[in-house]
Amino acid sequence: MTNEQILAACRSNWEYRGVGDAAMREMLDELSAHLEDAEAAGRTAQDVVGPDVRAFAAAWARERAPFGRRALRTLAMACFVLGFLPLFYFLTRWTTQLAVTADYVVFWAAIGAVTVVWELRRGSLRLHHRLLLSLAVGLPVMIVARRLTGDGVLFTLPLWVAPLLLLPAVPYTLAESRARRKSETGATQPC
């Protein structure tokens, strides 16, 4: 494999695993420098990355974002979604109470569980994949739950719970927006 092919394979693997743009650019620059140094020393690219480029890229992505950090980020984003959904309901219906039924809970729990497992295992999901996930997993589970449990109210959710659930995602959102701004300014500045 050429250096360009190795860099392209690593880039696609890191994009698939949800590595941020700024971190990916930094990792690609570092890998490119290592590959050039190896070439100058008379070694091959295989000496740097090993026989399996995908395994090398996956190991570096896991090292860059360990499981514990990814799990905390995923949990914070799950709380954000769990807070945003009722907040959206409260704002569109102009109410301060949300009657939660069993099928509503089961629908979001099924989608949440599959999304969290996917995020921790493979990386981030794109919007159209999330919509397909909603239809393929959440809808059948919701229909079965509705038939089994009926439409009785389990509990009523007050308005103050929604903003409380949004709070854990604030540090991650700020960090990602800073990294995005930093990478955009770094990309537009001439070298």
Mean pLDDT of 34-57: 89
Give the SS3 label for residue 122. Answer: coil
Residue 175 has what pLDDT?
78
Q: Structure tokens of 135?
A: 């239809």
pLDDT at 123: 59
Question: What does the alpha-carbon distance between residue 106 and residue 146 come to, in Å, rounded to a whole number?
Answer: 9
| CB environment 93-102: b (16+ within 10 A), e (fewer) | eeeeebeebb
Mean pLDDT of 80-97: 88
The answer on pLDDT for 22 being more than 80 is no
Percent of the chain residues topping a pLDDT of 90: 15
